[in-house]
Amino acid sequence: MTTATAPAHASDALADRETLRLCTAGSVDDGKSTFVGRLLHDTRSVLADQLASVERTSADRGFDGLDLSLLVDGLRAEREQGITIDVAYRYFATDRRTFILADTPGHVQYTRNTVTGVSTSQVVVLLIDARHGVVEQTRRHLTVAALLGVRTVVLAVNKIDLVDFDERVFRDIESDARAVADDLGIDDLKVVPISALLGDNVVERGANMDWYTGPTVLEILEGVEVARGRANDLDFRFPVQYVIREHASDYRGYAGRVKAGTVHVGDTVTLPEGREAVVAHIDTPDGEVESATAGDSVVLRLDREIDIVRGDLIAGAGRPEATRRFAATVVGLSDKELTRGKRVKIRYGTRLTRGRITSVDSIVSIDDAAPVAEGADLTVGLNDIAHVTVDVAEALPVEDYAARGAVGSFLVVDQADGDTLAAGLVGTRLG
């Protein structure tokens, strides 16, 4: 049995635990709010005054027990009122690790929000109503997970109590879901029968499904290897954000965040135009360190003075070749359409350069990743997923999307007002 702990306020102990980022997805009637509420409640991640409020409101509504969906009702209220829809983030912890949970909207018209939540997550928990099985929305969310390279998907077959905990119903859904996941290339699908209402197999096992001997959802989340597929497994990438000069001391440092890989003092790094240098110092607010890895914000000092500016890339030996044309998949984030020939700005890493949508090659179905439209005059609208070709005014060291966007991700920006029109994944192709 998993031992849960308060998200405390004893947070010193939490500082040493690994953090797993996950997101929940599913249709609006699959019990996602109740599932998230159950996860928070059973890991004791709910403050006493919140719990008391839920108890009172549940009693006022005549609910037999706790209506745990009330713990995440704020986002639901936004949806019902038709105002701005966004991804809500929840935080909880157990004795083994801490978690950041992105709760994404379920409707197909909020594909861009689902993409936002999934893009920062290592694991997707996808809920299915046991009465309905694999539906269109299930396929959509699995497609988004595949598009963004998520390796682990937990398929939580919810409301199993409403089909009398029938193992055959669960096995049929499991078989259908695995077929879809296999088609999309998702290599780690874990399927769990749950009742978020009763709590079975969410955090605790429960007593209603002796036929299921696998782990609970929380046990899976506690056991997933956080480092799997992470950016520190890639070659070193360091987009320069700022050049720090102190003329009095001849100090010259290059500030930024390590996007991928690891760098050590003494490493040889590659620079634009085929140049090389050796890392002489790595500075942080707490002083010099011997190495830095993906996610660390540092200042690199090299063994020689080289003209490097914001937007340049300091890389390892496997430096990507700079190019002025590349293929990509984009997700429409704006009501403004992308069309063939549209002039835009491309933000890749810390570089912002002029660009053009050379062609919109196809619009991709979010249901099954197959092309649904091809031709010379396609447009990319809000929530559309499309394969495109992009030209840029200055050669960029782009490379295929990997490791949750550590490399290969970019933004398409409106030249006129700076609005973000689309998110892009270099080299990614579905269908």
CATH no. for residue 395? 2.40.30.10
| Boundary-marking domain end, from 265, 281, 315 | 315
User: Tokens in use for 205?
Assistant: 């096992």
Mapped onto helix, strand or coil, the DSSP state of residue 384 is: coil
Model confidence pLDDT, tens digit, residues 313-333: 999 999 999 999 999 999 888
Helix (H, G, I), strand (E, B) or coil at 296: coil
| Least confident piece of the model among 33-47, 130-144, 273-287 | 33-47
Find the mean pLDDT for residues 357-374. 78
Could you tell me where the beta strands, DSSP code E, fall in 112-163?
123-129, 152-158
Kindly report the CATH number assigned to the domain that includes residue 82. Answer: 3.40.50.300
Q: Do 239 and 194 reside in the same domain of the chain?
A: no
11 vs 374: CA distance, rounded Å? 53
Query: Could you report how far apart the first and last alpha carbons of the chain are, in Å?
Result: 42
Quick: pLDDT tens for 90-120.
Answer: 888 899 899 999 887 766 666 777 887 888 7
The chain-wide mean pLDDT, for the chain, equals 84
Do 15 and 135 reside in the same domain of the chain? yes
Same domain, 351 and 367: yes
Domain identity same for 198 and 79: yes
Taking phi first (over 0 means left), then psi (-120 to 50 degrees means alpha), and beta for anything else, what does residue 171 get?
alpha
Query: Do 72 and 41 share a domain, yes or no?
Result: yes
Query: How would you label 390-428 residue by residue, b for 16+ Cβ within 10 Å and e otherwise?
Result: bbbeeebbbbbbbbbbbbbbbbbbbeeeeeebbbbbbeb
Note down the domain range covering 278.
231-315
Number of domains making up the chain: 3
Q: Are residues 345 and 304 in the same domain?
A: no
Query: Can you give the pLDDT at residue 159?
Result: 95
DSSP state of 62: T
Sign of CA dihedral 122, 127, 132, 133: positive
| Residue 355 and residue 299 share a domain | no
pLDDT of residue 154: 97
Do 281 and 404 share a domain, yes or no? no
Q: Is the pLDDT of residue 1 over 50?
A: no
Amino acid code (one letter) for 198:
L
Distance of alpha carbon 256 from alpha carbon 239, whole angstroms: 6
Q: Is it the case that residue 248 has pLDDT exceeding 80?
A: no
| Distance (Å, whole) CA 222 – CA 19 | 10
Q: Is 260:294 a contact under the CB 8 Å cutoff?
A: yes
> Residue 100's beta-bridge partner residues?
21, 91
Q: Please check whether residues 30 and 177 belong to one and the same domain.
A: yes
Rounded-to-integer distance, Cα 196 and Cα 157, Å: 10
Q: CA 133, CA 155: separation in Å to the nearest integer?
A: 11
In a domain, 1, yes or no: no
Angle at 335 between CA 106 and CA 369, to 5 degrees: 50
Q: What is the arithmetic mean of pLDDT over 249-268?
A: 93
Q: Are residues 123 and 216 in the same domain?
A: yes
CB of 314 closer than 8 Å to CB of 235: no
Q: Is residue 34 part of a domain?
A: yes
Degrees, nearest 5: CA angle 228-4-295: 30
The answer to whether residue 431 is domain-embedded is no
Which pLDDT score is estimated for 84?
33
Last-in-domain residue among 315, 331, 349: 315
Residue 76 has pLDDT above 90, yes or no: no
Same domain, 217 and 301: no
Averaged pLDDT for residues 178-199: 92
Q: What is the mean pLDDT of residues 53-69?
A: 62
Q: Is the pLDDT of residue 375 over 90?
A: no
The span from the CA of 69 to the CA of 287, in Å, is 47
What gap in Å lies between CA 240 and CA 285, rounded to an integer? 17
With respect to residue 5, please indicate whether it lies within any of the assigned structural domains. Answer: no
Cβ neighbours of 201 (radius 10 Å): 26
What tokens does 60 get? 């006022």
Span 6-22, average pLDDT = 62
